[in-house]
Every structure is written in C-alpha cells, then in structure tokens.
Chains A and B, each alone.
Chain A
C-alpha cells in the first residue's frame, strides 16, 4: 500500500492513522484513507456513548474488517459530543468516504493546543511512505 491516497490539507493526522478536523474547540475524528485501505472491507464499528471521556493516545473504539480487528485511538482529549450512529448499519461508508460520511465521533476538546502535536497532511504522507518501506 502506498501513500497515493487522499490526505486533505486541512486535517491533522496521528501515527495510528486517525484524522482530526478542529473547529472552535470541537474536533471531528475518523480514520484515514490509508487505514481503511489497509483494513479492507469494514464490517463493524464500535463507538463510545455521547458524554464519554476520551484521552489523547488512548483507545476510544474499535473498527473491524472481515479479517482484522483494530482499535481506534483518540487524537485529542475531551468529551464525546456526537457519535456517527449511521455507521452501525452501514460500516462500509468508512471505506467509501473516510473523511465525509465515514466520520466517527465529535469531541469537545479539553485542550485545543493538543492538536499542534499532530501531523500535517505532508508529514503524514511521508510517515506512511516510510512505514511502507
């Protein structure tokens, strides 16, 4: 798998292949094009309840493809404000539209500065190229 996927410039990225879009203290979180391609057909997504606390770098949920189970790691700390319930019945949306309808949770961030520690699109692209080699 190479880095020739789509990695929007206005998002931030983690080493565990989540993306985050920060907007006035709220962050939308999902998995990257690379993650969904590596996993293959996604058939199950397990997400936290609204109100749950999430901690940067710690697991907040699980995504399963036909052949693999993978944990989801929070890119930032805070409280879950919204969950994408549509993924319960249509988890394959994550494969088709990882940055759009395949979003997973929205977090009310405890410390918006945490986002500064995440990778830019260019850095992430380089990171997955290195990881592939």
Chain B
C-alpha cells in the first residue's frame, strides 16, 4: 500500500485539518502529509471529468523572481521561451541541467515585465531553490515563497460556474494558461486557468492564512453542482489519462524534453539557456529512447518501474501505469527505443515475471470534449 519511509517530521499544508475532517485518508507524499483519497479514487476521478473536484495542492513550491533582470534570469534557467509571455500568462517549462535533463518541470507565470513566479514540484523545492539561486545571478531578487502560498485546484467542467460565484471578475475572460490577480473573499490571489487533470479548471494561489476559508467557501458553493473533495490518488490518474508527466516517474535528472515528447517546450532558437548545447547535440544525433503512451492488450496493470521487453530482450521501463477510470483501460507510459514508440508498435510489459502484451496508442489517452461556447 501507499507509503514511503519516514525521513523527519512531515510538513503539513494549511488545509490538512479540513482534509481530515472531510474523511480524507492522509499519507506521506514527497515529505508532506497529504490526503490521497476521500470517497474513492474512481469516484473522485469521475467527478472531475463530469462535474468538478477540489484539490489541496499547497505542497507545490513557489519561487519569486523580481527585478529588471528577471526575464534574463528566467530565460537562462528555463528551456521554454519566456520572452513570448505577456503579463497574465503562464507557460509550461523545464529547469534543465547542463546535460539537458530535468531538474524539474515547472510553470512560469509572468506577473509583470520584471516579476515572474515559478511553480515547482513539492519534492523538488529545496533542490530547485538552490539551483535557481546558484544559476540565477543577475539583476533580480530570488525568493523561496513556498510557505506563503496555499494552492487550491478547482477542476472540472463546472469549475468556472462554481468559482464565478466567489469572484467579481468575469472568469470567461481568462483564457487557457492565462491568469488574473484579484480578491477572492478578501484575499489577494492569483486565479489561473491551468491544471493537472486534462479538464477545464482553475488553480488559485492565495495567502496560506486564507486557504481554509476559501476551501470551505468553494465546497459550499460547489455542493449543488456535485463538487467533490479529491486526493492525490485521483490527481495521479487524471494527469496520466491526460498524459501529463509526473516528475520522479516520467521525468528526472537524466531524461530530456526531447526524450519525454516535450520538444515543444525546448526552444533551442531562443538563445542561450542551461542545457541547450546538450539538446542541440541530442537533436542532431537523435534520441535513443522516447516516452511512449501504451494500452495493455493482455490482462494486467502496468506500474511504475516494471520492465519492458521486445522479442524477448529488455527494451525499456514503465514510468507510470494505472487503471484509467474514465477510459476503463489499463494505460501507461514507458521509455522505449524510438522505433518502438510509434503508434501501433507492440511490446511486452513484465508483470509478475510474465510478459503481457501492450500496444502504443495516440496520446493524450483522454482529451476533453470541446466546449460548446466560451473563449478558451
């Protein structure tokens, strides 16, 4: 069952108390005590796909970079092109090491010309802060703001309706990967049309002290709409159906954006950045492995770190795998040689010492239906 060795006392978010009072089953995750599920993973997953779900994701870290040299620092530290951002826009990107591997996968928010916010993975916070400070020399202040922010994710087709009752700004005016800074129940917050579920929705970054009030207000506003509190279990199955990578599973210090199928965020033409030379070389020579999305053909569920075989020989490893609650299929991601990563290719996943057939499919596994109206 889900557990990991205890390494010192666990950190807690301002929403752990309310998660417990709602019946959340709380477990250690990346050094934090977090709710892994409330009613059931499948139930919560389906709520997000069909109505709405609310998640405490306050364990995520935040780094503020502010000053006249902020953009130059962000450009040097990240592989996507932050110069393309306008105020109020967010971008998926990577902090890469010299070898082109991911120090972390992150979101870059441009709040003003000289003011950026990096949103980083909980388990990488200390590493990222040290990395950004070490390589972020320039005319800007770099601050670890992780403890000051709470983050609530409100996800699902009814998220906009539920949140609209609590804010004055017209949420329809916020496009995908856009955000506003506004008062939410009296607390200055970032309201961002982003998420990690493959569904429409918002991520709300506000002061830690105001998080419980907001969470309760959203639950109340969402009750008539079928809003459910959701844990990290559903967050993981939702993100995998949408083929969003999880750091530590699908990405790590040794995997590059080109291998992970994230070439779109590696803007080699934007100018110098850490890892660029390695990516140039890899692009020229070709990758030796690619992250492929697959469905199980035989019975069985692929899991993280299961071996992949092809024609009886080792051919890679599964990085993520699960039963997909909406698709009702067993799906996964695996690093395999590029020739095996094309749609329709077959390989075997070794499940309890037996080869179980899998086939590479189009990803994302799940794509949300187009909205009938709206401006996203």
Contacts and interface: CB of A to CB of B under 8 A. Distances in A.
B325 interface: yes
Contacts of A62: 352
A64 to B, nearest CB: 5
Nearest to A41: B42
A43 B322 CA distance: 10
Given A38-B1, A41-B41, A67 B300 contact: no
Q: How large is the interface on B (under 10, 10 to 19, 20 to 34, 35 or more residues)?
A: 20 to 34
A67 B35 CA distance: 13
Contact of B40 (A1, A38, A40, A69): A40
A41 B325 CA distance: 10
B104 interface: no
B34 to A, nearest CB: 13
Contacts of A41: 40-43, 325
Contact of A66 (B1, B325, B352): B325
Contacts of B325: 41, 66
Interface string A25-57: 000000000000011110110100000000000
Contacts, number: 46
A118 to B, nearest CB: 22
Nearest to A70: B1
Interface residues of A, number: 17
Nearest to A39: B1
Interface string B227-253: 000000100110000000000000000
Classify the secondary structure of B's interface with A. Answer: mixed
A64 B323 CA distance: 9
B320 to A, nearest CB: 12
B96 interface: no
B118 interface: no
A67 B233 contact: yes
B197 to A, nearest CB: 15
A66 B329 CA distance: 11
Contact of A44 (B36, B40, B323): B323
Interface of A: 1, 38-41, 43-44, 46, 62, 64-70, 88
Q: Lowest 9 CB-CB distances: which A-B pairs, in order?
A: A43-B323, A66-B41, A41-B42, A68-B1, A67-B233, A41-B40, A64-B301, A44-B301, A66-B323
